[in-house]
Structure 1
């Protein structure tokens, strides 16, 4: 864990949606308080139950937010990519970390301690508002996942996951983020074998295509 150059932090913070409303002077003040760290693949960045001390911003790489069920099996709650942040909830309510965040590949991270973030929100109402909006969005996404688990069968859950993870590319929806069948199973509460069967059935039925290891959903604009 180390400090980073304010100029570099400024560039990074400017591209983080949470801080996009700040001017360069405000970003410079925040950048001077930021630190930077690198974590290797499979390393745990934060652990459920630990005290919350910092907000983390992902500069590069991918990370997964996980928890475990009563039998100790891993559940994937979300995937994070560059520009996304985590660790904010405990900084607001003072509670311990609610989930694990694990590096899915080598990651570069920027971090701000609790007092720096709270000062930023007190001085910049738009940051506090944007944080609330992002938290509401994440709550809505959590509600959708709960609804899927309660109301949809495995076919429906796989289909919704693919649509949620996809991007619009030339009239088709494309899942650019590579996910193993095991990871998909951990996200929707199913077995890897069942997910593999559903993916085969969807492909044979023409609902999806596999092109260069990417999942294409034809005509689902």
Structure 2
């Protein structure tokens, strides 16, 4: 097998941008990356940190539009990755049984849903922690979106 291309990134450099078109995946040879999702405000919310030997950028293969589901940023002073082409990944995937392909597709869908849910939970937690610090009265109900409502006795 021919050797794969190697790419290097520096701390803070965006490797993949959420929503962009996917055409390759990466295996980390050295360093760490941060996987982030955009929240409703467009801010990046970290959802995972990956290091040596881990693979990222493969989820686009299971997306009908072939778009990236997250942003990936180098967090080490130097990140070195091995690049897997789309053709190579599809060839590997096609060697799997139909049942195994279905399992991978299902796991991918579940991971995307879990990531979205995680970002929503983080946003809700921010709302709760940004609430006023004065004591909450017994007849007060906390509702989503940082709104306090008084319950009628």
What TM-score do you get using the length of structure 2 for normalisation? 0.63
**1:68-112: CA deviation from partner (whole Å, max 9, x where unpaired):** 323343211221122221111212334211221000112110111
Deviation of 1:190 (Å): 3.1
1:69 aligned partner: 39
Structure 1 gap segments, 5+ residues each:
1-28, 150-185, 195-221
In the alignment, structure 2 segments of 5+ residues that lack a partner are 131-153
1:44 lines up with 2:17 in the alignment: no
Q: 1:64–1:79: 8 Å Cα contact kept in structure 2?
A: yes
What's the C-alpha RMSD, in Å, of the aligned pairs?
3.4
| Larger RCO (CA under 8 A, 6+ residues apart) | 2
Report the Cα distance in structure 2 between the residues aligned to 1:80 and 1:50, rounded to whole angstroms: 20
8 Å CA contact retained: 1:54, 1:91: no
Higher strand share: 2
Question: Using a 3 Å threshold, how does the CA distance of structure 1 residues 97 and 144 change in structure 2: closer, same or farther?
Answer: closer
How many angstroms apart in 2 are the aligned matches of 1:62 and 1:188?
Answer: 28
Structure with the bigger percentage of helix = 1
Matches within 5 A, 1:65-214: 65-93=35-63, 94-105=65-76, 106-125=78-97, 128=101, 131=104, 135=108, 138=111, 142=115, 145=118, 149=121, 189-190=125-126
SS at match of 1:120: helix
Residues 164-187 of structure 1 deviation map (CA, whole Å, 9 limit, x = unaligned): xxxxxxxxxxxxxxxxxxxxxx79
**Structure-2 change in CA distance of 1:104 and 1:188 (3 Å):** farther
CA distance in structure 2 between the aligned counterparts of 1:77 and 1:110, rounded to whole angstroms: 22
Using the size of structure 1 for normalisation, the TM-score is 0.46
Q: 1:35 to 1:134 in 2, by over 3 A?
A: farther
